[in-house]
A and B are shown apart, each in its own frame.
Chain A
């Protein structure tokens, strides 16, 4: 049976074709066309988002079940596209100031974007791997984009070597799973696993390797080593991109693999994931205390945040998955705002990134300081800001499953992490004013910061649109195309 319906792939196709078109324009017009290319890329992302919004969301698989589109995938795609637009917008001014405005930048981000869109739609172990590698390779290059900087090169090498290792583990896991279930198709694997006799230790080992590979992508402890170094070494605009988007895509992939494909053997992965979750929360909370560099601090904070999100995965219910989606959405909005502020940390044309550089920001740049304070309070989960509701739904899903030890560890580590978020506020508000940053803030940064702060302040007033769509996206995941399976197996 040849299944060649490619309409659900329209957003990916659009982005791939525009990436190539941008490349051609770049080659012909040279590096001074970078700004135009960035905005063209943003426009392409926006059009892709519109296409996603317009297309039918009822779950169906195409290309011989390689690719699935459902509400879950659609929601994640919109999330990813929003993140892409925000991170590209934040980059425009930065890449000029740092003299790294080469036309490959938007192209690479776009290719990574294609990879991520495919990731959340992957319905087959091979399309999973392919999509993951497409985005990873683009990310390795982006990390090294500041060619003249040794730190950037170091970050990229570290990222690449460890990334390649994790890809190897992932592939090994995939081969084991294929060997023991006889298929690479998610639906068939699920079907096979639900028959009790097919459940062999080989699958469990394969799953463990698969999880290790994915844990690397979301930087869950103990696969987090690369995160602080890469975040610190990579150009800041790239760090912003890393912090916002790829983790969301990887988490979407993880959710689909665990909650759909491997849901019949949830007992096997729950322990692994709860270990990842606890370790990430604790390391994220305690290691961040000692950091002086704000990019490293954000790296540890993102490790901790992934730990919270994993609590929702452990709950293994549609509510849990919905809470994870909501959490990721809120996390992305907050991170966008935080990086809009960090990118303003420049003195005499040079980027500074020590926490102490923020001292007295409330005197020099009050608006920036208040926005950052709101973001920090939100990150530490203090109501009435949006960050609190993200955590609330995660904890609610876990309490529903009676996961009290996990929840208690979660709230305790959130108190510890509140300490280092408060430290940033302390530096900005309580300490003596330092030298002011270079004045001015580009329109794009203002816009991103404004949207982000408006979101975290206003979430409490109108939460339903976001919460309900996240929850219904999660529901579509567990009820995913089970009807197709029959026809395929027959």
Chain B
């Protein structure tokens, strides 16, 4: 029998967080305490990563069903269950969460000294909640994890953030909360209508279009803010600029993916009719997001802000792919999310590297870094090209699949979205040229040290992953395809009665025609 691996991954970080609260030391022992705290956090998250890898290795890629399922009664009277499980759609998001948490802990190893204990606890709790979000198979349980994420993230931005951290943390919290509470009503309405909160059961419940529309809009309010889609993306640049490096990494790497995951887990399978009804809206917003935020990114002077806007554009591709309702489009959307999870996280880490040295994110303060930081220039280039979508990187696979999928749905939207690729190349290359090439305008920038060993340990594996999965994407897509196939089939099937009626009408007409001809 399988161990309850998902629960272990959710509980282990919490146990480590409790252990951290117990670390004690005499006055004067602060460095030792700090070191112990960091080690507990690091090893805890590495254990979780090991479990996640073990789970991927044991994942049955031929099946579209939920695997590693755990189900216990939770609220007996309301029939809520503690129900966990993963399928091809969620399994890699869990790996992504498990991968980025140790990365964040390592990235803060030498740069964060204030309240290190609370900092590590916040990240561990965040990890637990993220894994919970991606593995919950009960709507209320999902909501608990989904919204619980706000607490540690609010504190991370607010306590360890930059000068405008209070504004940014409040904006982040209230924007996301506003969307989420509407989703809560939708979850309750679904429960009242269908009598269940079990996601696999809900997927096979049929509801009428009118009802679906309202529910869909409520879900959309939540996921669109989380994603974020234009025009509710404005919290993201603020949050990113003010968050500490590791906070940005988690925010861009994992939290943004919750919106896309929500669309795939709720909107498409549970509300297929409304999804089709609203698809033009989503496609339009996605294309606006891609073009508009790319243009905005072009004029940014702050590195983090530029990458934040590029995230919005990249998420536009994700929604485009999801709402093309094609196998390639959805595969591409998931791949794009995973790829963006690694690339944008790495780009924020790259910004963090120079920020730690010069304490500014202004692009014009840098220049010619290739001379004194050749290693940095190389890894930065890998991620920059990945973000641009150069063939051979994961970014290419994601965008290409997405566009192939969208092309089958609408050529116009695809053509418009494709301009985003050009603009994306423009702003990323511009950023890279200004920061890494060009003259060394500032003395202090010219004297910066190249990557330290710790930074190499963090960045090089990510760079390798970007290239490896860019060349060999099947390693990932093989595992997600059965589930997306099932999702698309299910979606088509739910529209079947309509086409079936039309077909039978056609048949009837043919039949009558033949009869008329016969007589």
A468 is contacted by which of B77, B170, B178, B181 (Cβ under 8 Å)?
A: B77
Residues in chain A near residue B74, CB distance under 8 A: 463
Asked whether, in the complex, the Cβ of A388 is within 8 Å of the Cβ of B76, the reply is no
A392 is contacted by which of B77, B140, B148 (Cβ under 8 Å)?
A: B140
Residues in chain A near residue B155, CB distance under 8 A: 373, 429
Asked whether, in the complex, the Cβ of B144 is within 8 Å of the Cβ of A422, the reply is no
- For chain B residues 460-495, which have a beta carbon within 8 Å of chain A? none
How many positions in chain B have a CB within 8 Å of any CB in the partner chain?
33
B177 is contacted by which of A384, A399, A418 (Cβ under 8 Å)?
A: A418
Known: A419-B170, A430-B158. A464 touches B75 (CB 8 A): yes
Q: How far is the CA of A436 from the CA of B78 in the complex (A)?
A: 46
Residues in chain A near residue B144, CB distance under 8 A: 383-384, 388, 460
- For chain B residues 434-471, which have a beta carbon within 8 Å of chain A? none
> Least Cβ distance of B154 to chain A in Å?
7
**Interface of A (DSSP majority class):** helix
- For chain A residues 203-257, which have a beta carbon within 8 Å of chain B? none
Q: How far is the CA of A404 from the CA of B43 in the complex (A)?
A: 47
Known: A418-B173, A426-B166, A430-B158. A407 touches B185 (CB 8 A): yes
- Asked if A280 CB lies within 8 Å of chain B CBs, one says no
**Interface of B (DSSP majority class):** helix
Residues in chain B near residue A407, CB distance under 8 A: 185, 188
Asked whether, in the complex, the Cβ of B174 is within 8 Å of the Cβ of A383, the reply is no
B188 is contacted by which of A399, A415, A464, A467 (Cβ under 8 Å)?
A: A399
Q: A-facing mask of B169-199, CB < 8 A → 1, else 0?
A: 1100110011001101100110110000000
Residues in chain B near residue A399, CB distance under 8 A: 185, 188-189, 191-192
A430 is contacted by which of B151, B165, B181 (Cβ under 8 Å)?
A: B165
Residues in chain A near residue B78, CB distance under 8 A: 393, 396, 467
Residues in chain B near residue A411, CB distance under 8 A: 181-182, 184-185
Asked whether, in the complex, the Cβ of B143 is within 8 Å of the Cβ of A429, the reply is no
Q: How far is the CA of A422 from the CA of B159 in the complex (A)?
A: 13
- Asked if A377 CB lies within 8 Å of chain B CBs, one says yes
- Asked if A412 CB lies within 8 Å of chain B CBs, one says yes
Asked whether, in the complex, the Cβ of B148 is within 8 Å of the Cβ of A418, the reply is no
- Asked if A400 CB lies within 8 Å of chain B CBs, one says yes
Q: How far is the CA of A412 from the CA of B188 in the complex (A)?
A: 16
- Asked if B354 CB lies within 8 Å of chain A CBs, one says no
B191 is contacted by which of A373, A377, A396, A468 (Cβ under 8 Å)?
A: A396
- For chain A residues 368-404, which have a beta carbon within 8 Å of chain B? 373, 377, 382-384, 388, 392-393, 395-396, 399-400, 404
- Asked if A414 CB lies within 8 Å of chain B CBs, one says yes
- Asked if B369 CB lies within 8 Å of chain A CBs, one says no
Q: How far is the CA of A399 from the CA of B218 in the complex (A)?
A: 14
Residues in chain A near residue B159, CB distance under 8 A: 429-430
Residue of B with least CB distance to A399:
B188
Asked whether, in the complex, the Cβ of B173 is within 8 Å of the Cβ of A422, the reply is yes
- Asked if A112 CB lies within 8 Å of chain B CBs, one says no
Residues in chain B near residue A429, CB distance under 8 A: 155, 158-159
Asked whether, in the complex, the Cβ of A468 is within 8 Å of the Cβ of B76, the reply is yes
Q: How far is the CA of A396 from the CA of B178 in the complex (A)?
A: 18
Residue of B with least CB distance to A381:
B181
Residue of B with least CB distance to A380:
B177
Asked whether, in the complex, the Cβ of B76 is within 8 Å of the Cβ of A415, the reply is no
Residues in chain B near residue A426, CB distance under 8 A: 158, 166, 169-170
Q: How far is the CA of A384 from the CA of B150 in the complex (A)?
A: 11
Q: How far is the CA of A393 from the CA of B140 in the complex (A)?
A: 11
- Asked if B362 CB lies within 8 Å of chain A CBs, one says no
Q: How far is the CA of A407 from the CA of B192 in the complex (A)?
A: 14
- Asked if A15 CB lies within 8 Å of chain B CBs, one says no
Residues in chain B near residue A471, CB distance under 8 A: 77
Asked whether, in the complex, the Cβ of A395 is within 8 Å of the Cβ of B77, the reply is no
> Least Cβ distance of A237 to chain B in Å?
30
Known: A396-B188, A412-B181, A415-B181. A383 touches B147 (CB 8 A): yes
Asked whether, in the complex, the Cβ of A414 is within 8 Å of the Cβ of B148, the reply is no
> Least Cβ distance of B198 to chain A in Å?
16
Known: A396-B188, A467-B77. A384 touches B181 (CB 8 A): no
> Which A positions have Cβ atoms within 8 angstroms of B?
373, 377, 382-384, 388, 392-393, 395-396, 399-400, 404, 407-408, 411-412, 414-415, 418-419, 422, 425-426, 429-430, 460, 463-464, 467-468, 471
Lowest 6 CB-CB distances: which A-B pairs, in order? A411-B181, A383-B144, A399-B188, A430-B158, A384-B144, A415-B178
Seed contacts A383-B147, A460-B144; 19 additional CB < 8 Å A-B pairs? A382-B150, A382-B151, A383-B144, A384-B144, A384-B145, A384-B148, A392-B140, A392-B184, A396-B191, A399-B188, A408-B185, A411-B181, A422-B154, A422-B173, A425-B154, A430-B166, A464-B77, A467-B75, A467-B78
